Structure 1
């Protein structure tokens, strides 16, 4: 990869994206991160038992899963910026429903609506970055996008704890989320438009990429002005063409979705399993809540600290150099942890492998976003990204159910080992399919 990836142009463009993309991401994630830990608590106050409260909390993930494909349809037709604005406004209705819900059913519907809008908001940002960021630093840009989301989800619970200490009411966190959404919508609607600021820079960058035969596919980047020697002027663009339809896009790209897409889903599953297994493992060892929270928090801090390193590795050495170590670390970490439950120093092993899983998850930051952008069709990326994100979100949604089912049928150690096997199988899938669909840039 040439030195222009490290040029001031890259930093300048990423800075210009801040108000439109990274800023709204942090605001949305801060509010969501503050609310998520309190959803089961509020559900219990409305009369839910433990199982029902868990079901209500899962409505957020279900809503996000259901929202990806409609979001792809919306982005392809009305654009990324308008989709983000509408999603923010509809989320405000969900916030009001959560705060004023008179019954558990209405509260669950409001939570589902928040998840649905989060999918639309997330896909719009993903599509925006896919079509605007030059290929030479795409991974860093998308890793930074994932990192800003991680920052919000990491800090959000602490904000919720502070609001509880001041107001003594869980609904304070919900209204905080509402304030974040208002700021998000205002920033999206009235903030600077990076597409206009980015026009000349992106055109020069895309012209350079088009002129240099690097061997790297450029299917996910849409030039803002067409370079010489590029595709025919009759080629449709997502900016002018309403798209070929989500279902038709899924069928047309069924091969990449059923191969590389499933590998990506396995990564999402392992990530999601980490969030479930670590607290359960601490409980099974008889550790107190403070110790479990400390271990999980340290793992999350390691994860957050490595998010930008993942993008640097992908841009400089190729996507596989980040995906493979991440999957091997998490897969092997789960398998090794499964054999430590009855050892004399089990708490020590628990803390050590939680850190290992944090490293693996941190190295995977931005991979799903970047791979989706790499293989998205040039003419209509939004519809494809809706299908891609549905697959990855499905992997994340199924993993906790799989852990629960295997733990109930056998034991938590067996469930943990099973997730490790999924991680290693996913690593093999990445080895097989990443070089085929996203070949490494040649010097």
Structure 2
């Protein structure tokens, strides 16, 4: 049933990610057109991450109360307001607010489908389904910039990408509202093993679930956050470290290339190859997690990225610095590709199976916070010490995160999901 409804399940996310991926690279340019300097343009672009951070918990509340379908439709409509703001912004404040609003909507889209997969996808192929969901985001971010380049070449105006995003959003909302409702078409699996955790998690009974998602005594976002504080403070922090390393990769690679004297074309080629490797491996991660356990994907990914950053930090002044740069960019691409879907899958594994949305709102806020903090940490260390020291510090974060996964995945992830497989 899930395969038959794949276009309805994955289609809206692909459309949203494709439009977003076309616009994101141009946000600093839109800000510059309104008079922003480089730091201010970076601040405007960062409003997207801040919006996503702020949107996760309200999105969890909305999904729990009104369902995934309506939440996605509202998110798409709100994103259209943000897109209109991008196109018509008279000043930097309106532009920043518009970018923030798009971030809020991205949180709603992401959490709605994450919640659906958590409750509807059988455990035996949950990781593959969620890796495919993660791959849809990667597809949008990978293809979107090429679409943007094509549109600018045809129309000669960067705002053509904004209208493309608007078309993608309208198509996504129509698909959500007019297509079959997956929430009604796909039954909840009869058995959903409860996550193993601290004693305070005993309230999650793990009773078999049939039919629609049961709604008795919905705990709410903040009560759920407190009830599951043990897993959030342990496994959630490990997941946040993975998100931090991923986010740092997008900043370190371009800056490292500039620092060692490479031209823009070479840097773009290296970063593009790294991204292509990343995208090519997204489904392999799900296969590994479903067949061998979550640690068999999480641990190699974190070790590769942590060791890759750490090793890269020692190559800045070597005679073959460009060769090492290309090599470790590829290593980071492999590590990031192997990590595809891990955060989604672990969140689904440890979420309460009868009402996952409030928990997933907290989980995604925590992981997004890791991704938002990493650029700040990297910038601060670069300013205080050097680019090499900052890059090495990101590597240490990755290796510490690997150790945290080794400790906490077996404790919190159900045995059937591969919690002891590492």
Same fold (TM over 0.5): yes
CA shift in 2, pair 1:232/1:139, >3 Å: closer
Q: Which residue in the other structure is 1:7 paired with?
A: none
Corresponding residue to 1:25 among 13, 17, 30: 13
* Distance (whole Å) between structure 2 residues aligned to residue 349 and residue 48 of structure 1: 35
Aligned-residue offset at 1:219: 5.1
Q: Which residue in the other structure is 1:125 paired with?
A: 113
| 1:56-95 deviations in Å (ceiling 9; x for gaps) | 0000000000000011111110001110011001111111
Given that 1:85 and 1:185 are in contact with CA atoms closer than 8 Å, whether structure 2 keeps it comes out as yes
* Distance (whole Å) between structure 2 residues aligned to residue 232 and residue 29 of structure 1: 35
Query: Quick check: 1:270 aligned with 2:245?
Result: yes
Aligned-residue offset at 1:15: 2.0
CA shift in 2, pair 1:439/1:179, >3 Å: same
Query: Quick check: 1:93 aligned with 2:81?
Result: yes
Q: Which residue in the other structure is 2:201 paired with?
A: none
Corresponding residue to 1:157 among 131, 145, 165: 145
* Distance (whole Å) between structure 1 residues aligned to residue 195 and residue 406 of structure 2: 21
Query: Quick check: 1:302 aligned with 2:277?
Result: yes
* Distance (whole Å) between structure 2 residues aligned to residue 259 and residue 236 of structure 1: 33
Q: Which residue in the other structure is 1:113 paired with?
A: 101
Q: Which residue in the other structure is 1:214 paired with?
A: none
* 1:58-69 correspondence runs (5 A): 58-69=46-57
| 1:296-345 deviations in Å (ceiling 9; x for gaps) | 00000000000000000000000010000000000000000000111110
Given that 1:14 and 1:141 are in contact with CA atoms closer than 8 Å, whether structure 2 keeps it comes out as no
Query: Quick check: 1:372 aligned with 2:347?
Result: yes
Corresponding residue to 2:320 among 334, 340, 345: 345
Q: Which residue in the other structure is 1:74 paired with?
A: 62
| 1:201-254 deviations in Å (ceiling 9; x for gaps) | x5xxx34x57xxxxxx4459xxxxxxxx98289x99855347211111110000
The count of aligned residue pairs is 410
CA shift in 2, pair 1:171/1:189, >3 Å: same
Q: Which residue in the other structure is 1:181 paired with?
A: 169
* Distance (whole Å) between structure 2 residues aligned to residue 75 and residue 439 of structure 1: 24
Aligned-residue offset at 1:440: 3.9
* Distance (whole Å) between structure 2 residues aligned to residue 317 and residue 27 of structure 1: 32
| 1:157-195 deviations in Å (ceiling 9; x for gaps) | 000001111111111000000000000000000112233
Q: Which residue in the other structure is 1:434 paired with?
A: 409
Aligned-residue offset at 1:20: 2.2
Structure 1 unmatched ranges of 5 or more? 1-12, 211-216, 221-228
| 1:81-111 deviations in Å (ceiling 9; x for gaps) | 1100110011111111110111111111001
Given that 1:19 and 1:192 are in contact with CA atoms closer than 8 Å, whether structure 2 keeps it comes out as no
Given that 1:266 and 1:426 are in contact with CA atoms closer than 8 Å, whether structure 2 keeps it comes out as yes
Q: Which residue in the other structure is 1:136 paired with?
A: 124
CA shift in 2, pair 1:325/1:386, >3 Å: same
CA shift in 2, pair 1:242/1:93, >3 Å: farther
Corresponding residue to 2:388 among 405, 410, 413: 413
Query: Quick check: 1:231 aligned with 2:207?
Result: yes
Aligned-residue offset at 1:285: 0.6
* Distance (whole Å) between structure 1 residues aligned to residue 56 and residue 401 of structure 2: 23
* Distance (whole Å) between structure 1 residues aligned to residue 311 and residue 413 of structure 2: 31
Aligned-residue offset at 1:197: 3.3
Structure 2 unmatched ranges of 5 or more? 197-204
Given that 1:236 and 1:379 are in contact with CA atoms closer than 8 Å, whether structure 2 keeps it comes out as no
Given that 1:68 and 1:119 are in contact with CA atoms closer than 8 Å, whether structure 2 keeps it comes out as yes
Q: Which residue in the other structure is 2:337 paired with?
A: 362
CA shift in 2, pair 1:242/1:123, >3 Å: farther
| 1:13-38 deviations in Å (ceiling 9; x for gaps) | 44234222211111000000000000
| 1:103-161 deviations in Å (ceiling 9; x for gaps) | 11111100100001110111011001111101110000000000011001100000000
* Distance (whole Å) between structure 1 residues aligned to residue 178 and residue 296 of structure 2: 39
* Distance (whole Å) between structure 1 residues aligned to residue 83 and residue 6 of structure 2: 25
* Distance (whole Å) between structure 1 residues aligned to residue 296 and residue 147 of structure 2: 35
